[in-house]
Amino acid sequence: MRHVSRNSGLYGRLATAALIVGVSGSAFALEAGPFARLAGQWRGSGTIALVDGSQEPIKCRASYDVLDKQRRLQLNIRCASDSYNFDLRGSAMLDGRTVTGSWSETARNAAGKISGSARGDKIDVVANGPGFTADLTLLTRGDRQTVGIKSKEPQSSLQTVTIELTRG
């Protein structure tokens, strides 16, 4: 005669519930749009390359507010090195995979438009303004984010910025 514990049914139901929660949690993570992945406060460090060929370590903080059902993003990325700092602010709209919006950099009183695309965990845009054009890439995986900025202007004092951020 086989002995069946009264708790075996309870354990089975708990295991099934845990599986359902785990699967639905994973489904939500997969459904989260590109802007939703950014939401919150981030900090980290990286490297800035200047036009004179020098490179410096840089420390950064980023803040992203996601609004309007994950279709609008307000961002602020502030970075500083020994000789260079910037305060990049932006507002972007997501329509399907198309990203459009505006940006400003307060330390240099510069501003312009952004346009590009978002797909999965990556956002690629071009920032255009009078006298400055740059590629901006945001790659977000979980609580880690890589930000890359590459100037398209040979005379710009800033050539590239690469930043590794973590949430929190």
Helices then strands, each counted (H, E), the chain: 1, 10
Which residue in 51, 53, 74 sits closest to 64, CA to CA?
Answer: 74
What span, in angstroms and rounded, lies between the C-alpha atoms of 103 and 30? 28
3-state helix, strand, coil in the chain (%, to 5): 20, 60, 25
What is the chain's mean pLDDT, rounded? 82
For residues 7-19, average pLDDT: 35
CATH topology classification for 36-167: Lipocalin (2.40.128)
What is the DSSP secondary-structure string of 1-52? -----THHHHHHHHHHHHHHHHHHHHHHHHH--TTGGG-EEEEEEEEEEETT
For residues 46-56, average pLDDT: 91
- What share of the chain in percent tops pLDDT 70? 81
Angle at the Cα of 152 from the Cα atoms of 146 and 156, rounded to 5 degrees: 100
Domain map of the chain by residue range? 1-31, 36-167
Q: What's the pLDDT tens digit per position in 59-110?
A: 999 999 999 888 899 999 999 998 888 899 999 999 999 999 999 988 888 8
| Cβ–Cβ < 8 Å for 34, 122 | yes
| Cβ–Cβ < 8 Å for 99, 116 | yes
pLDDT at 52: 87
